[in-house]
Amino acid sequence: MKKHVSRSRVAGRCRAPPSKSYTHRAILAAGYADEATVEDPLVSADTRATMRAVSAFGGGVDRSRLDAGTLSVEGFGGRPEVPDDVINCENSGTTTRLVTAAGALTDGLTVLTGDDSLRSRPHEPLLDAIEDLGGRAESTRRNGRAPLVVGESITGGAVSMPGDVSSQFITALLMAGAVTDEGIEVDLETELKSAPYVDITLEVLEAFGVDAEHTESGFRVPGGQQYAPAGGSYAVPGDFSSISYLAAAGAVAAEDGSEVVVEGAHPSAQGDTAIVDILDRMGAEISWDEDAGELRISGGDLSGIEVDVGDTPDLLPTIAAVGAIADGDTRIVNCEHVRLKETDRVSAMAEELGKLGAEVTEEQDTLTVHGSDSSLVGAEVDGRGDHRIAMSLAVAGLVAEGTTTVDDAEHVDVSFPDFWTVLDDLGAKVTNA
């Protein structure tokens, strides 16, 4: 599907979708429980994959009350059954990694696969860890990538793994480790990237009554625990990764004297709350009422800055798009791990912004956008089957002369299904191809 975005001004109120990261963890945590209710979940292509996995392990997910913002989960009580069929995670890397550790708890074998993009993403450190814990963990193509085969009832223990490939490996082991006999301790061999995502995991585990902790060299979760949220329910906060596109739209295209107000922006462990500070440093008029959960953004004289995305990889596309509009250079550093997402987001943003007339310098671990040398003009750009690339290019399209056509626009369904409608409601000129 293609969407046309013409140069526009935006203003008004909008609401952020619930957090995808929290929703994934909450659904799986509810699966580990006997039963639980997830309030205000994000229902998207990715989170539906996690719902299917919980059902495949012997649980059940009732979506009949989603109109009231409620998802009822019948769990598998910490003991996942061997699935009757292959679990298709489609494009959800989070589902695959979190569920891989759950599958290692079964007394048989679990097979996981997904689409072309997912089957190109690395899982080898997690597979090695499961084998070190006494389980079976194989890539059918022997390249560390899906399809994966895991199982044979791990009981816990200590493992070491790199911290600079994916924090989701640690999340997967902590969530599964709580229901093992011995618990799991993870020692990190390298610096942890995307550390706030593990903090999100610890926050969700605590809400479900599970103890886990930082150690001097990594993380530890005791075994023999039960998942049970207080009052039987857990409420998902708003998603700051998605808020970043709305905030960026306000920063680059708010009407003179007007502002974009984003509701649902409540504080949490999300590292992507950093977008507030980043846009402020770039010169946007931005304020955050944390108690009310409201973010107010209006345009300003934007200037390039240096941003380290070691802990906030999902912000790279947003920052790059704003950098193409700001004066001076926007230098995004510590970003090599961002190449391991749904697509190589470093190259994708360099190439697609280049089609719009941006001057960009790409290095292995750095992306520099030369805003003063850029003059954005509408063109056809490729969303690369990646929700974050598509939404970031839409932000650039609000400022580019003429019309920008975003291909693969439907992939926003992964994390922000109503993105195009929300953008249109703010006054952006968005039409179907």
Q: pLDDT tens across 64-115, in order?
A: 998 889 999 999 999 999 999 999 999 999 999 999 999 999 999 999 999 9
Q: Quick check: 134 pLDDT over 80?
A: yes
The answer to whether residue 433 scores a pLDDT higher than 90 is no
Angle, helices 168-177 vs 93-103, to 10°: value is 30
pLDDT of amino acid 255: 81
In this prediction, residue 256 carries a pLDDT of 83
- Give the separation between CA 139 and CA 109, rounded to whole angstroms: 13
Task: Give percent of the chain above pLDDT 90.
Answer: 97
Q: Please state the residue numbers annotated as binding site.
A: 20-21, 25, 93, 121, 166-168, 194, 314, 341, 345, 388
- Structural domains of the chain ordered from first start: 2-17+238-432 (3.65.10.10), 20-235 (3.65.10.10)
CB 290 within 8 A of CB 266: yes
Q: Each residue of 157-197: pLDDT tens digit?
A: 999 999 999 999 999 999 999 999 999 999 999 999 999 99
**What's the whole-number average pLDDT of the chain?**
96
Q: Can you tell me which residue has the tokens 């909450």?
A: 26
Q: In whole angstroms, what is the distance from residue 178 CA to residue 212 CA?
A: 8
Of 46, 311, 314, 413, the active-site residue reads: 314
Among 392, 418, 419, 417, smallest CA distance to 406 is for: 392
Query: In angstroms, rounded to a whole number, what is the distance separating the alpha carbons of residues 231 and 353?
Result: 48
Task: Answer left, alpha or beta for residue 209, where phi above 0 means left and psi between -120 and 50 means alpha.
Answer: left
Mean pLDDT in residue range 13-41 = 96
Task: Over range 219-226, report the average pLDDT.
Answer: 98
Q: What is the pLDDT of residue 307?
A: 98
Q: Confidence band (pLDDT; 50, 70, 90) for 299?
A: confident
The question of whether 413 is a catalytic residue gets the answer: no
Q: Tell me the binding residues for 3-phosphoshikimate.
A: 20-21, 25, 166-168, 194, 314, 341
Residue numbers belonging to the annotated binding site for phosphoenolpyruvate: 20, 93, 121, 168, 345, 388
Is the pLDDT assigned to residue 362 strictly greater than 80? yes
Predicted local confidence at residue 250, as pLDDT: 98
Q: Give 383-407 pLDDT, tens digit per residue.
A: 999 999 999 999 999 999 999 999 9
How far apart, in whole angstroms, are the C-alpha atoms of residue 212 and residue 216? 13
- How far is Cα of residue 271 from the mean position of the Cα atoms in its chain? 11
- Tell whether the model's pLDDT for residue 221 goes beyond 90: yes
Residue found under tokens 């009407």: 255
Q: What is the pLDDT of residues 231-271, one digit of tens each?
A: 999 999 999 999 999 999 999 999 888 999 999 999 999 99
